[in-house]
């Protein structure tokens, strides 16, 4: 895939939030954080180009990190449960879709990433996946997304450079 073939798509903040909450729900997490937002961004093909990894690799790396963390707590793999299937997520969701009681809640770090990404568009809640990724690339460990990117071997400066090639106006 070339960078010229990737069209920038403007998304509603709620669409990213809803997709991230579905990633968390699928994994059995009660809250969604920056790592879930990162997984949600893979809906946009330019994110795969910028990071040099795909959604499947990112999910596997997050699973490995979870297994390591559980192992450090002395919890074995016997407690594993299969991931839940993803629900369909509308491109233009309504607020009622996002606020359902069975949806995982957002962590403060996830909220800050989405707020910072939408700052250039204060009057509208429209952002691009590239704007959100640019914010995620500024995070440092122990932030879950930064740890995930590190475990995937993503060089954040190189990813920023690729992101600027794919989306020079973001």
For every one of its 170 residues, what pLDDT tens digit does the chain have, with 9 covering 90 and above?
Answer: 333 333 456 777 888 999 999 999 999 898 999 999 999 999 999 999 999 999 999 999 999 998 898 888 887 655 556 666 666 666 666 656 655 666 788 999 999 999 999 887 766 668 889 999 999 999 999 999 999 999 999 999 999 999 887 666 55
The third-level CATH classification (topology) of the domain covering 7-73+84-166 is Double Clp-N motif (1.10.1780)
pLDDT of res. 122: 67
Contacts of 63 (CB under 8 A, 6+ apart): none
pLDDT of res. 3: 36
Strand partners, 11: 127
Q: Looking at the chain, how many residues does it have?
A: 170
Nearest to 128 by CA among 73, 75, 166, 83: 166
Contacts of 93 (CB under 8 A, 6+ apart): 12, 14, 15, 18
pLDDT of res. 7: 44
Contacts of 123 (CB under 8 A, 6+ apart): none
Per residue, the 3-state secondary structure of the chain, as one string, reads CCHHHCCCCEEEHHHHHHHHHHHHHHHCCCEECHHHHHHHHCCCHHHHHHHCCCHHHHHHHHHHHHHHHHHHCCCCHHHCCCCCCCCCCCCCCCHHHHCCCCCCEECHHHHHHHHHHHHHHCCCCEEEHHHHHHHHCCCCCCCHHHHHHHHCCCCHHHHHHHHHHHCCCC
- Asked if 46 and 130 count as a contact pair (C-beta separation under 8 A), the reply is yes
- Residue spans per domain, the chain: 7-73+84-166
pLDDT of res. 5: 37
């Amino acid at each position: 895939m070339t960078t010229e073939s990737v069209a920038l798509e403007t998304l509603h903040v709620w669409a990213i939030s809803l997709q991230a909450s579905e990633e968390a729900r699928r994994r059995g997490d009660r809250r969604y954080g920056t790592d879930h937002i990162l997984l949600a961004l893979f809906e946009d093909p330019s994110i795969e180009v910028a990071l040099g990894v795909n959604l499947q690799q990112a999910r596997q790396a997050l699973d490995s990190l979870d297994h390591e963390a559980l192992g450090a707590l002395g919890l074995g793999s016997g407690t594993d449960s299969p991931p839940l299937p993803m629900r369909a997520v509308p491109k233009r969701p309504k607020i009622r879709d996002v606020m359902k009681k069975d949806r995982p809640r957002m962590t403060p770090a996830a909220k800050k990433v989405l707020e910072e990404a939408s700052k250039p568009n204060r009057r509208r809640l429209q952002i691009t996946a590239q704007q959100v990724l640019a914010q995620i690339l500024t995070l440092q460990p122990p932030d879950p997304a930064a740890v995930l990117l590190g475990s995937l071997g993503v060089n954040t400066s190189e990813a920023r450079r690729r992101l600027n090639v794919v989306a020079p106006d973001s």
